[in-house]
Amino acid sequence: MPDLYQELIKLADSDMYPFHMPGHKRNLESTPMKGAFRCDITEIDDYDNLHDAKGIILEAQQRANRIYGSEETFFLVNGSTCGVLSAISAAVPEGGKILAARGSHRSFYNAAYLRNIQIKYLPYKINTKYGIPETYTADDIKQTYDDSIDAVFITSPTYEGKCSDIEEIAKICHLHGIPLIVDAAHGAHFGMGSKSALPENAVSQGADLVIHSVHKTLPSMTQTALLHVQGKLVDRKKLRRFLSIYQTSSPSYVLMASIDLCMKYIEEQGDEFVSRLIEYRKLLENASAKCRYIEIPGKKDIPDAAKVLIYVKNAAMTGHELYDILREEYKLQLEMAGEKYALAIISGCDTREGINRLITAIAQIDARIADGKAMNSEEEHVKVTSLPGQVLSIQSAWDADKESVELQSAIGRISGEFINLYPPGIPLIVPGESFSEELVCDIARYIEEGLTVQGIVDRKEVICVKQK
Amino acid sequence: MPDLYQELIKLADSDMYPFHMPGHKRNLESTPMKGAFRCDITEIDDYDNLHDAKGIILEAQQRANRIYGSEETFFLVNGSTCGVLSAISAAVPEGGKILAARGSHRSFYNAAYLRNIQIKYLPYKINTKYGIPETYTADDIKQTYDDSIDAVFITSPTYEGKCSDIEEIAKICHLHGIPLIVDAAHGAHFGMGSKSALPENAVSQGADLVIHSVHKTLPSMTQTALLHVQGKLVDRKKLRRFLSIYQTSSPSYVLMASIDLCMKYIEEQGDEFVSRLIEYRKLLENASAKCRYIEIPGKKDIPDAAKVLIYVKNAAMTGHELYDILREEYKLQLEMAGEKYALAIISGCDTREGINRLITAIAQIDARIADGKAMNSEEEHVKVTSLPGQVLSIQSAWDADKESVELQSAIGRISGEFINLYPPGIPLIVPGESFSEELVCDIARYIEEGLTVQGIVDRKEVICVKQK
């Protein structure tokens, strides 16, 4: 079966002249981006329509479908963002209720806002050693579930590569007759390659709706993603409706071709891709084993092989310092930095040369860390943090008249904005929740420490719902 | 100032190694789409963030801004669709009311659905000669305006190239203190080149929010668009909020670079681009002047030079037949076909060779039309069609429990779906409106005539709101 890219190149090579959009007319003289323009078309005869796929786009979606083994798969050109928005909008009625973790992606909160959905939170768990969000088990769901809940939303793997027990969580959800939505944006590579090398995929673990970013861990262009559906708990007509609401009516064939090429690559070279990924991770773990302060946790702590958490023990160096040294001195651009670690994303498309550069850099940086700076090791445990009380729905608070209030005067007031601490980017407060004294003190401290706190005005004011 | 593409190529040519997303790692061996992968990155240091632009993306947006002369311009990577959704969501309060034409883009209705906005319709006017939607004057607004209206939404130019009087409509809106949103998806080239060659741009005509598809008529990749803002009638914070809701949190740098390259192209070669466009249109009009049946209306009827409406007089041939002949025999792929015309989109990126092929084809097709088939000429006038009565809001009807009903039994029932007739794609009925006897007869006739009617089940049933 030809892939979408081949179909587009066939057209570019043919005598067919374009009296249609796009305005560049595949005229390569108008751009240095020649390859992209050459296969950039609109919905013309024989080239199908993403929003009502019946031809070559449907066939391409079916290729993805075969690889993941889901019942139905949709290509997304507006990222996992539109997958999360569509999944929640279709699975939860307007004004309904969803059970989810506080550390869900911003698009989760946006869906709750748009559809006036009430969020019930799972316990907010942080792994104190690494300072990263923890994951969930079936017991967590059992203990927080109540009959008013319409769906469960779980992020697995997390940004940092930790995995929840999707299989058991799916069973609990289905026992209650509600769908499980898994934001697996970072887990499109799961389940690929030889058995047991990578964690299982949320699709085969029985989730009803699974969102995969194809670009994050597989070779596809940024902004491309997949949505998989199975079972009968989610109305597929409604799902299609929302996919066509949250995605452009002019989807890019370049992005769609990139997804299909990626699926073909996985079909043909997936085993080698995964083998290289696993090998690279192993090489990095081995290198860190020789270090005094730098530690790269293994599969047990970070099951996702693509996430290389370069942790610095005993506060001998901050994650940000490590990140900056890698970037400035070694020209290694990492994904992000936390207080205690820098995070590298690796894939089967990395080169051995690149991995070796990182190994050399880690060894050299570890060697130069002065012993004097190290503090006592912090014990690893899971801390459950309390969340602010919810007074108004996200929708009524975010849409309300608002005013800026001095942080210290905000105690007892209702927030009209999200305030996020980066990393990990989890909201400290969500519109509709009230500021406690404890939270106000925490925010003041974060600002003083120079951390990135989004949603604060001039470093000292917060946005509150106007009092009548 | 370097463009975004140059910045990305600089990175690709540098020694900086990517331990971040996307998973393809710019490794060109993993894809035939080498050019696209080379400049496809994520939000790393120095490369700014579309959702909080402060660096090179802000500078690129400012270039677009200078070209159009608006106060502020945003790049859109989810097409004009996300521009329309964001504009309406920001300009009209949840549950508010908007004045608009029936022929608005699907994204307009989707915004009304998501934000539970009530639509008051302008008179639904069709140009009977060409069978295309007509445009609006300030008088139309004056006659339908009432104090409960929060914003006005106008599509100009239309898909077929007709223009409303935006300048006067903006004045009326501002007199009432409400914003004017212009869906100018098809008019990104307006106002460019030497004076008077093309219609004025909605930005300089004083609209508050203007949405431009960059890909439709200018050389940029499909799915790229711009949103311009001016004045104080729309809360810009709210606008930014909705832009970040309706667009992916992983925007494609390839798409953004394509917008910036397009703006640079217009800055440097815009005059030549427009001169060629005007010349091509003139050549086509001249060619049709020698035809017996084929007519390409001039600037007076279709002011947008980019829209070549190839009209067949006296029903001597249907638009669909013309479209098929052009495609199958001449390998000329047009944009679409109506009952009485085929529509070609041209731009300054067309080649003279392409235009000549179309000129030759038109002359040859005109010559072979048998005189016997021609009927009496239809007089040109503007027909105002009545619209179905609205019983429920779009939101309550589209979200309601629904059932399939035989078309003939639907009289008096409330529609639970959109039913659209293509072309021009304007809804015959919108969720929440009731089926009249006249509408049911019309729909039955359209189906019988083999026209494309979307939203019908098995060619005979319609979706209605369940009766209690």
Q: Does A220 contact chain B (CB < 8 Å)?
A: yes
**Is the distance from CB of B4 to CB of B265 less than 8 angstroms?**
no
Q: Does A97 contact chain B (CB < 8 Å)?
A: no
**Is the distance from CB of A108 to CB of A418 less than 8 angstroms?**
no
**Is the distance from CB of B456 to CB of B405 less than 8 angstroms?**
no
Element housing B89 (H / E): helix B79-91
Q: Is B213 within 8 Å of A250 when comparing Cβ atoms? A: yes
Distance, CA of A408 to CA of A435 (rounded, Å): 10
User: B155 forms bridges with which residues in the sheet?
Assistant: B183
What HEC string does chain A produce? CCCHHHHHHHHHHCCCEEECCCCCCCCHHHCCCHHHHHCCCCCCCCCCCHHHCCCHHHHHHHHHHHHHCCCEEEEECCHHHHHHHHHHHHHCCCCCEEEECCCCCHHHHHHHHHCCCEEEECCEEEECCCCEECCCCHHHHHHHCCCCCCEEEEECCCCCCCCCCHHHHHHHHHHCCCCEEEECCCCCCCCCCCCCCCCCCCCCCCCCEEEEEHHHHCCCCCCCEEEEECCCCCCHHHHHHHHHHHCCCCCCHHHHHHHHHHHHHHHHHHHHHHHHHHHHHHHHHHHHHCCCCEECCCCCCCCCCCEEEEEEHHHCCCHHHHHHHHHHCCCEEECEECCCEEEEECCCCCCHHHHHHHHHHHHHHHHHCCHHHCCCCCCCCEEEECCCCECCCHHHHHHCCEEEEEHHHHCCCEECCCEEEECCCEEEECCCEECCHHHHHHHHHHHHCCCEEECCECCCEEEEECCC
* A266 token code pair: 């996985």
Report the percentage of chain B scoring pLDDT > 90: 87
**Can you list the pairs that A266-269 forms with residues at least 24 positions away whose Cβ atoms lie under 8 Å?**
A266/A67, A266/A192, A266/A218, A267/A63, A267/A67
Per-residue pLDDT 10s for chain A (468 aa) are 788 899 999 999 999 999 999 999 998 888 888 889 989 999 999 999 999 999 999 999 999 999 999 999 999 999 999 999 999 999 999 999 999 999 999 999 999 999 999 999 999 999 999 999 999 999 999 999 999 999 999 999 999 999 999 999 999 999 999 999 999 999 999 999 876 689 999 999 999 999 999 999 999 999 999 999 999 999 999 999 999 999 999 999 999 999 999 999 999 999 999 999 999 999 999 999 999 999 999 999 999 999 999 999 998 999 999 999 999 999 999 999 998 999 999 999 999 999 999 999 999 999 999 887 777 766 778 888 889 999 999 999 999 999 999 999 999 999 999 999 887 778 999 999 999 999 999 999 999 988 889 999 988 999 999 987
Which residues on A lie below 8 Å from B81 (Cβ)?
247-250
* B331 token code pair: 């390998």
Report the percentage of chain B scoring pLDDT > 70: 99
Per DSSP, B121 falls in state E
Which residues on A lie below 8 Å from B5 (Cβ)?
32-33
**Could you give the strand order of the β-sheet that contains A382-385, starting from the edge strand earlier in sequence?**
A132-133, A124-127, A382-385
CB atoms within 10 A of CB B364: 12
Burial of A27 (0-12, 13-18, 19+ CB in 10 A): middle
Could you tell me which of B405, B406, B401, B394 has the C-alpha nearest to residue B466? B401
Distance, CA of B281 to CA of B275 (rounded, Å): 10
Which residues on B lie below 8 Å from A247 (Cβ)?
78, 81
Is the pLDDT at B154 greater than 70? The verdict is yes
What is the chain A residue with the closest CA to B354?
Answer: A17
Element housing B110 (H / E): helix B106-114
Distance, CA of B134 to CA of A104 (rounded, Å): 47
Which residues on B lie below 8 Å from A257 (Cβ)?
33
**Is the distance from CB of B344 to CB of B323 less than 8 angstroms?**
no
Distance, CA of B388 to CA of B437 (rounded, Å): 10
User: A457 forms bridges with which residues in the sheet?
Assistant: A461
The one-letter amino acid at A165 = D
Distance, CA of A399 to CA of A385 (rounded, Å): 28
Q: Does A43 contact chain B (CB < 8 Å)?
A: no
The whole-angstrom distance between residue B273's C-alpha and the CA centroid of its chain comes to: 21
What is the chain B residue with the closest CA to A257?
Answer: B33
Distance, CA of B327 to CA of B3 (rounded, Å): 37
Q: What angle do CA A142, A86, A255 make, to 5 degrees?
A: 125
pLDDT score, position A198:
95
* A274 token code pair: 């995964």
* A465 token code pair: 């719902």
Distance, CA of A466 to CA of A399 (rounded, Å): 11
pLDDT score, position B29:
86
Backbone angles phi, psi at B152, to 5 degrees: -115, 140
User: A83 forms bridges with which residues in the sheet?
Assistant: none
CB atoms within 10 A of CB B153: 27
pLDDT score, position A378:
66
Distance, CA of A301 to CA of A195 (rounded, Å): 19
**Is the distance from CB of A82 to CB of A243 less than 8 angstroms?**
yes
Q: Does A237 contact chain B (CB < 8 Å)?
A: no
What is the chain A residue with the closest CA to B264?
Answer: A31
Q: Is B347 within 8 Å of A223 when comparing Cβ atoms? A: no
Could you tell me which of B261, B266, B252 has the C-alpha nearest to residue B47? B252
Which residue of B16, B54, B223 to mutate against A (max A Cβ within 10 Å)? B223
Pairing of strands A151-155, A180-183: parallel
Q: Which among A78, A327, A346 has the least Cβ separation from residue B45?
A: A327
Question: What b/e sequence results for B182-198 when a residue is b if at least 16 CB atoms lie within 10 Å of its CB, and e otherwise?
Answer: bbbbbbbbbbbbeeeeb
**Is the distance from CB of A433 to CB of A415 less than 8 angstroms?**
yes
What is the chain A residue with the closest CA to B265?
Answer: A30
Distance, CA of B246 to CA of A248 (rounded, Å): 10
User: A93 forms bridges with which residues in the sheet?
Assistant: none
Handedness of CA B435, B437, B440, B446 (dihedral sign): negative
Distance, CA of A28 to CA of A73 (rounded, Å): 34
**Is the distance from CB of A318 to CB of A365 less than 8 angstroms?**
no
pTM of the full predicted structure?
A: 0.96
DSSP B271-303: HHHHHHHHHHHHHHHHHHHT-SSEE---TTT--
Burial of B174 (0-12, 13-18, 19+ CB in 10 A): middle
What is the chain B residue with the closest CA to A187?
Answer: B23
Query: Chain B, 361-390: which have a CB under 8 Å from a chain A CB?
Result: none
Q: Is A217 within 8 Å of B23 when comparing Cβ atoms? A: yes
* Beta-carbon contacts below 8 Å between A and B: 311
**Is the distance from CB of B422 to CB of B454 less than 8 angstroms?**
yes
What is the chain A residue with the closest CA to B310?
Answer: A19
SS3 B413: coil
SS3 B428: strand
Could you tell me which of A10, A20, A358 has the C-alpha nearest to residue B347? A20
Cis peptide before A303 (omega within 30 of 0): no
What is the ipTM for the molecules in this complex?
Answer: 0.95
Distance, CA of B286 to CA of B363 (rounded, Å): 11
Q: How many helices (H) and strands (E) does chain B have?
A: 14, 21
Alpha carbon dihedral A364, A370, A371, A374, in 10-degree steps, equals -100
pLDDT tens track for B381-393:
888 888 999 999 9
Q: Is B110 within 8 Å of A245 when comparing Cβ atoms? A: yes
Question: Would you put residue B455 in left (φ > 0), alpha (ψ -120 to 50) or beta?
Answer: left
Residue A71, min C-alpha distance to chain B (Å): 23
Q: Which among B5, B31, B250 has the least Cβ separation from residue A32?
A: B5
Q: Does B344 contact chain A (CB < 8 Å)?
A: yes
Confidence class for position B378, pLDDT limits 50, 70, 90:
low
Question: Would you put residue A46 in left (φ > 0), alpha (ψ -120 to 50) or beta?
Answer: left
Average pLDDT over residues B151-159: 97
